[in-house]
A = this chain, B = another copy of it.
Amino acid sequence: MPREEREAQLVVAGTEEFGRVGYAGASMVEIARRVGVTKPLLYQYFGSKDGLYLACLHRAGDRLTEGVATTMAAGGEPDQMPLKVLSAIFTTFDHDRYAWRLLRDDTVPATGDIAASAADYRHRLDAFALVGATQLMTSRGLADPVDIEAIAQVWTGVVDSLISWWIDRPDEDAAAMTARCARIMAGLFGW
Contacts and interface: CB of A to CB of B under 8 A. Distances in A.
Given A161-B157, A189-B189, A151 B25 contact: no
B150 A184 contact: yes
Interface string A96-127: 00000000001100000000000000000000
Secondary structure dominating the interface of A: helix
B142 A180 contact: no
Given A107-B107, A136-B188, A183-B142, A161 B165 contact: no
Nearest to A140: B187
A144 interface: yes
A82 to B, nearest CB: 10
A8 interface: no
Contact of A184 (B106, B141, B151, B157): B151
A153 interface: yes
Interface in A127-185: 136-137, 140-142, 144, 146-147, 149-151, 153-154, 156-158, 160-162, 164-165, 180, 183-184
A76 interface: no
A161 B151 CA distance: 9
Contact of A161 (B147, B153, B180, B188): B153
A2 interface: no
A146 B164 CA distance: 14
A22 interface: yes
A147 B107 contact: no
B150 A162 contact: yes
B183 A144 contact: yes
